[in-house]
Amino acid sequence: MDDMLKDLNRRFDHAALQPQVTEHDIVILCREALSHDLYGVAINPVWVRRARQALTGSAVKIVSVAGFPLGAGRTDLKVAEAVKSVGDGAHEVDMVANIGWLVAEDFGKVVEEIAAVRKNLPYNVLLKVIIEAGKLTESQQIAAARAVIDGGAQFVKTSTGFFGAATTDQVTRLYKAVGGQIEVKASGGIRTVRQCREFIEAGATRLGSSASVSIMEELRSRRGDR
């Protein structure tokens, strides 16, 4: 068994973030996370309480989002969304940076906004910041990763999944840019064991995917092949 894929299940934020997701879908998502012992579920704020109920007493983490997926809301409401999600039961928050500020290279504003969210969250809540790398130049991606560190977040995350897939190059670039100070989450278009392997090799410690279950099944069938 490939070392890179050891405990792969513990790297997944199992995601259901589409607008048409129902309460029923959230219950199924939580059951899947429990049955495959996945790290967490990544869901929209309106579903956090329902997920808390479905996951009570388990180790599965609840990951909510803030300013998702456009990142173009007011800072005070990104803060409020993050804080309320934690109040509802979220253990982690994936916020979207203001992508327009990143494109305009107004990094100071990005740092300030991240810091505003960070300082309003309990210290034990992990904050990830999505930079929508596919909309940025390579140097903007690097500067964005530095801004995430400066804002005090714990992860830089490649993409929302709504505007194209993450690439190995992006993960490698972000991993180098953060130099071990924070972690890297890859997300967007992750559907195979092979992709997981490549992203982990490139430096990602967390993977966001709506295909976590089929990936775990692919892995299991491979193991059966040996």
Q: Footprint of a copy of itself on this chain (CB under 8 A)?
A: 17-25, 44-47, 68-77, 80-81, 84, 88, 96, 98-101, 103-104, 132, 135, 162-163
**Min CB(225)–a copy of itself separation in Å:** 38
**Min CB(78)–a copy of itself separation in Å:** 10
Burial class (CB in 10 A: 0-12, 13-18, 19+), 34: middle
Judged by beta carbon, residue 31 or residue 74, the one nearer a copy of itself is 74
Q: Which of 215, 216, 39 is nearest to 128 (CA)?
A: 39
- Considering 13, 78, 94, 128, which one is annotated as catalytic? 94
- Considering 61, 78, 128, 185, which one is annotated as catalytic? 185
Look up 6 and say whether it is catalytic. Answer: no
Look up 88 and say whether it is catalytic. Answer: no
Judged by beta carbon, residue 45 or residue 152, the one nearer a copy of itself is 45
**Min CB(17)–a copy of itself separation in Å:** 7
Look up 109 and say whether it is catalytic. Answer: no
SS3 state at 21: coil
For residue 75, the tally of other CB atoms under 10 A from its CB is 16
Task: Report H helices in the chain.
Answer: 23-35, 48-55, 75-88, 99-103, 107-119, 138-151, 168-178, 193-202, 212-225
Catalytic residue positions?
A: 94, 157, 185
